[in-house]
Amino acid sequence: LSALNITIKEDESLPAAIKTRIYDSYSKVGQRVKVSGWIHRLRSNKKVIFVVLRDGSGFIQCVLSGDLALAQQTLDLTLESTVTLYGTIVKLPEGKTAPGGVELNVDYYEVVGLAPGGEDSFTNKIAEGSDPSLLLDQRHLALRGDALSAVMKVRAALLKSVRRVYDEEHLTEVTPPCMVQTQVEGGSTLFKMNYYGEEAYLTQSSQLYLETCLASLGDVYTIQESFRAEKSHTRRHLSEYTHIEAELAFLTFDDLLQHIETLIVKSVQYVLEDPIAGPLVKQLNPNFKAPKAPFMRLQYKDAITWLNEHDIKNEEGEDFKFGDDIAEAAERKMTDTIGVPIFLTRFPVEIKSFYMKRCSDDPRVTESVDVLMPNVGEITGGSMRIDDMDELMAGFKREGIDTDAYYWFIDQRKYGTCPHGGYGIGTERILAWLCDRFTVRDCSLYPRFSGRCKP
């Protein structure tokens, strides 16, 4: 029988196929279904064709046999072609494994969009071992791969879980503007833009706007893009990242630390309990251990001692001294050696932002915290804020910031000030820790960094 002579036709005597998405097909054993998706894997074995079909909701193993496996149309199928497969869901025999523990016995199918083979084939486009920058050019295709798509699913579950914890803790979600005229984290990383002839910036952090919401909405949070014109290429810096930020009123520094602990512990727990994301975390990061409260507390001054005791040097290659910034490499060495989540607290005034409150028992240092995680280092930065007007003005002066553009922020100290604090979490950083990725670039849909603004 020549393959070319076989026409693929549906047998009208079969029961009508129920349209189903893959995640839903696993429970339909014995039923005739139709599923649409992309051909993720394709192999033939003794005149049987095995297709792993992907629709974003899951994967299903599909078997084409008999005439279906011989037809020229089937032999011409390629990876990433879209098809609608009709057939019966069967339970896998003992000892065999496939997603959902089932297989689709295909009796008929339609091609929706045939992807090219040969030179222009999908696999050639994202050939393994490709130069990372070529792979980034093909990000729109690379996202279809197992690892990247898994990280994106965990990312969605994480954001959902974070919102769930905020809801449980009675924080209200707000969406401050991204186009602003104030800096938060220093002038050197500002993206400037021409705003109808006025100078404006892409926001570095929504913190100042969150502070203005306390009096009207109480404790608030936002999940919003932040922008940093970082010049250096590192494993953990992006030019645009998704910033999870919260601001809380009438609390102490200790309350703030406990709140951050609760958020991290619970949102990770919810991700691990998620039926889709939980197994994906296991797959991406088999050794992941869920963090437990309380986190280790380490004061900056004791970290300096620790670094010197462990012969880790500062940026100048010298012993650390009080007042030095603990840069990325040293911070990661320390975090990896200690091997557990750390609250690094009480940083010196000079190396922190204008708005941070000083400690009452030591005015050289601030009520500030960085959360450090093994493999990544800093994933969160937070602090109590200066709530006294004069002290705030002194902070602006120290940093050489013209206060005109900040009148609305300063008004918060005038019309009913209160003790308050907050923090920001880099979504891609917490994901790099959770999913054990080498770089935050692997945790962003379309990463942005200097020299990369496409696709």
CA-to-CA dists, residue 369 to 184, 213, 296, 413, angstroms: 16, 22, 12, 23
Query: Which long-range contacts (C-beta less than 8 Å, at least 24 apart) are formed by 233-236?
Result: 233/449, 233/450, 234/328, 235/432, 235/438, 235/439, 235/440, 236/328, 236/376, 236/377, 236/378, 236/426, 236/428, 236/429, 236/432, 236/439, 236/440
Q: How far is the CB of 147 from ligand 4AD (least distance, A)?
A: 20
34's CB contacts (< 8 A; 6+ apart) are 17, 18, 19, 20, 84, 85, 86
- x-or-dash pattern for ligand 4AD, window 159-198, by CB under 6 A? -------------------------xx-------------
Instruction: Let me know the angle formed at the C-alpha of 250 by 244 and 251, rounded to the nearest 5 degrees.
Output: 70
Which member of 348, 395, 426, 447 binds ligand 4AD (CB under 6 A)? Answer: 426
Other C-beta atoms lying within 10 Å of the C-beta of residue 110: 14
By CB under 6 A, residue 241 contacts ligand 4AD: yes
Other C-beta atoms lying within 10 Å of the C-beta of residue 93: 7
- x-or-dash pattern for ligand 4AD, window 283-322, by CB under 6 A? ----------------------------------------
Q: Nearer to ligand 4AD by C-beta: 125 or 429? A: 429
Query: How many separate helices (H) and strands (E) can be counted in the chain?
Result: 15, 19
By CB under 6 A, residue 230 contacts ligand 4AD: yes
Which member of 32, 125, 429, 437 binds ligand 4AD (CB under 6 A)? Answer: 429
Give the total of residues touching ligand 4AD (CB under 6 A): 24
- x-or-dash pattern for ligand 4AD, window 255-274, by CB under 6 A? --------------------
Which member of 295, 409, 423, 433 binds ligand 4AD (CB under 6 A)? Answer: 423
Phi-psi region of 101 (alpha: psi -120 to 50; beta: other; left: phi over 0): left
Which member of 70, 223, 238, 271 binds ligand 4AD (CB under 6 A)? Answer: 238
- x-or-dash pattern for ligand 4AD, window 210-229, by CB under 6 A? ------------------x-
Q: Nearer to ligand 4AD by C-beta: 237 or 413? A: 237
Q: Nearer to ligand 4AD by C-beta: 122 or 347? A: 347
Closest CA to 205 of 329, 382, 347: 382
Omega before 279 within 30 of 0, i.e. cis: no
- x-or-dash pattern for ligand 4AD, window 430-449, by CB under 6 A? ----------x---------
CA-to-CA dists, residue 366 to 183, 206, 388, angstroms: 20, 21, 14
Q: Nearer to ligand 4AD by C-beta: 41 or 398? A: 398
Angle between helices 146-168 and 427-434 (to 10 degrees): 120
By CB under 6 A, residue 424 contacts ligand 4AD: yes
Other C-beta atoms lying within 10 Å of the C-beta of residue 107: 19
Structural contact between residues 202 and 227, judged by C-beta atoms closer than 8 angstroms: yes
Q: What is the DSSP letter of 316?
A: T
Site residues (CB under 6 A) for ligand 4AD, limited to 360-389? 378-382
Q: How far is the CB of 195 from ligand 4AD (least distance, A)?
A: 21
Q: Nearer to ligand 4AD by C-beta: 80 or 370? A: 370
Structural contact between residues 221 and 210, judged by C-beta atoms closer than 8 angstroms: yes
Contact window for ligand 4AD (CB under 6 A) among 42-50, 123-131, 239-247, 286-294? 239-247
* Contact positions vs ligand 4AD (CB under 6 A): 184-185, 205, 207, 228, 230, 237-238, 241, 243, 245, 378-382, 422-426, 428-429, 440
